[in-house]
């Protein structure tokens, strides 16, 4: 299959529902990078290399030099929020970045002002939205979001737009009848069906507008049959869900190593403290359950008790998140891992990760936005599983289990880029080097 990828010409708009800590850290960071004050550390699209051809070919271009991505100078930011603060005010309140950084880009940040948000307190009980849309029903809310997208695109003279959800975790819900078909979903919008979450309204509006949509929270959002079907009909890429940052990032690095060495794991206890808006939202049990399901699912696939019952059949996995305001955005996580090795002898691993949640998430949002734009220009519609690298709970086709091993996810991402650019896929088999050596000696 060949891909005719359209050039990344003109301006790219990145619209973000939820201009909180993660989004403002991203926007301030990009503005700082554009002015030459900072480097895009943590961004695969900006600082990562990709190998092409054989190891002996010595071809390791930067990803941004290999695939036609939008340039940082061509990005325009916008979004929605339940508070009317501009991005400078929101970033100052989030207290992720030092004022010395924010002051250098103050003018640019003050220019980014949020649209009124779609908000339903039943989905986020611990927030009180004051900057919200008031419409007759959810259908009208979707129409209002579509109008916002059109306004943003027109006023900024944009050629393309992508949307990345960075808002709070919504309460836990499961797929119901209203989510099963496009027709049922649209009827539900008009009837104000309570099972249609605010995030789904944004996703529906994006897809109807031909705009790629990625979900950075563990909400159900786009992984429902109705929106998956609509994305295929409209030829729009979708991806999700839940940005893979602190503790889960460590799990997808450590667990594959234990599994690769056939070391057994009896228990994995994880606890966190976090004090930002995300921590406040997750202090509600209904919202925590959404996050808990996402975080628990990671180990089930990597340390598969059905495939390896003697090693992982009795694995006990517990996750805790505690709201602790003094830490703000500086999340701290502790992991206690009970493992066993040769002859069943037991050992332990202790991990204490003092991370900065938004610092880890911001480059993820940038990469996802740029890759979703690339997918759209390459006409890669529907679920973009090759972006699993960035998500805790990767969205896949129905009946297809997700791949959680971060190293396998990276291979999939890189091979997808090689594939769409007409380069040979790399299997890392390596036997051809030794066959050539044997032949040269004959």
283: which 2 tokens?
Answer: 């202090």
**Tokens coding 233:** 């009909």
405 φ, ψ (degrees, to nearest 5): -65, 115
- The two tokens of residue 219 are 């909400």
pLDDT in tens, 271-324: 999 887 777 776 777 776 766 776 678 898 999 999 999 999 999 999 998 888
3-state DSSP assignment of residue 183:
helix
The band of 96, judged by pLDDT with boundaries at 50, 70 and 90, is very high
Residue with tokens 């979708």: 238
Tell me the percentage of the chain whose pLDDT exceeds 90. Answer: 83
- pLDDT value of residue 241: 94
In whole angstroms, give the CA distance from residue 179 to residue 50.
39
- What is the C-alpha to C-alpha distance for residues 20 and 81, in angstroms, rounded to an integer? 8
pLDDT for 9 beyond 80: yes
368-410 pLDDT tens trace? 999 999 999 999 999 999 999 999 999 999 999 999 999 999 9
* pLDDT tens per residue across span 194-221: 999 999 999 999 999 999 999 999 999 9
Across all residues in the chain, what is the average pLDDT?
A: 94
Per-state percent for the chain, helix, strand, coil, to nearest 5: 45, 15, 40
Tokens matching residue 85: 């603060």
- The Cα 348–Cα 263 span in angstroms is 12
Could you give the C-alpha distances from 435 to 203, 245, 428, 439, 442, in angstroms and in order? Answer: 51, 42, 15, 6, 11
Tokens of 243: 């940005």
Contacts of 282 (CB under 8 A, 6+ apart): 169, 274, 288, 291, 321, 323
Note the pLDDT of residue 295: 65
Other C-beta atoms closer than 10 Å to the C-beta of 108 total 18
**pLDDT (average), residues 112-119:** 98
Beta carbons of 315 and 300 less than 8 angstroms apart: no
- pLDDT (tens digit per residue) in 207-266: 999 999 999 999 999 999 999 999 999 999 999 999 999 899 999 999 999 999 999 999
Residue 144 burial by CB count (10 A; 0-12/13-18/19+): exposed, middle or buried? middle
């Amino acid at each position: 299959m060949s891909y005719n990828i359209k050039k990344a010409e003109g301006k790219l708009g990145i619209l973000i529902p939820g201009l909180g800590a993660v989004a403002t850290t991203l926007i301030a960071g990009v503005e700082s990078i554009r002015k030459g004050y900072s480097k895009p550390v943590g961004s695969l699209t900006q600082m990562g290399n990709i190998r092409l051809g054989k190891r002996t070919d010595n071809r390791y271009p930067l990803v941004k030099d290999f695939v036609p991505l939008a340039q940082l100078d061509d990005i325009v930011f916008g979004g929605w929020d339940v508070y009317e603060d501009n991005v400078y005010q929101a970033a100052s309140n989030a207290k992720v970045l030092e004022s010395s950084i924010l002051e250098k880009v103050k003018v640019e940040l003050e220019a980014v002002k949020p649209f009124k948000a779609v908000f339903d307190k039943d989905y986020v009980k611990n927030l009180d939205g004051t900057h919200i849309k008031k419409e007759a029903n959810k259908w009208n809310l979707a129409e209002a979001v579509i109008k916002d997208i059109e306004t943003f695109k027109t006023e900024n003279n944009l050629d393309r737009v992508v949307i990345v959800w960075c808002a709070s975790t919504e309460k836990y819900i499961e797929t119901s009848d209203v989510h099963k078909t496009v027709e049922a979903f649209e009827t539900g919008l008009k009837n104000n069906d309570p099972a249609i979450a605010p995030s789904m309204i944004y996703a529906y509006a994006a897809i109807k507008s031909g705009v790629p949509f990625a979900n950075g929270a563990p909400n159900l959002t786009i992984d429902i049959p109705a929106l998956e079907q609509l994305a295929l009909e409209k030829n729009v890429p979708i991806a999700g869900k839940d940005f893979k940052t602190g503790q889960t990032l460590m799990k997808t690095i450590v667990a594959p190593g234990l599994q690769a060495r056939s070391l057994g794991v009896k228990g994995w206890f994880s606890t966190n403290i976090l004090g930002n808006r995300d921590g406040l939202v997750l202090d509600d049990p209904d919202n925590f359950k959404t996050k808990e399901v996402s975080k628990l699912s990671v180990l089930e696939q990597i340390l598969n008790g059905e495939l390896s019952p003697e090693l992982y059949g009795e694995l006990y996995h517990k996750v805790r998140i505690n709201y602790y305001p003094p830490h703000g955005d500086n999340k701290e996580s502790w992991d206690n891992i009970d493992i066993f090795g040769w002859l069943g002898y037991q050992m332990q691993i202790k991990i204490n990760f003092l991370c900065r949640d938004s610092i880890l998430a911001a480059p993820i949002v940038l990469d996802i936005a740029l890759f979703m734009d690339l997918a759209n220009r390459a006409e890669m519609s529907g679920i973009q599983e090759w972006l699993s690298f960035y998500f805790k709970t990767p969205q896949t086709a129905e009946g297809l289990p997700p791949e959680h091993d971060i190293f396998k996810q990276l291979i999939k991402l890189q091979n997808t880029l090689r594939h769409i650019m007409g380069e040979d896929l790399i299997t890392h088999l390596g036997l051809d080097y030794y066959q050539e050596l044997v032949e040269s000696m004959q």
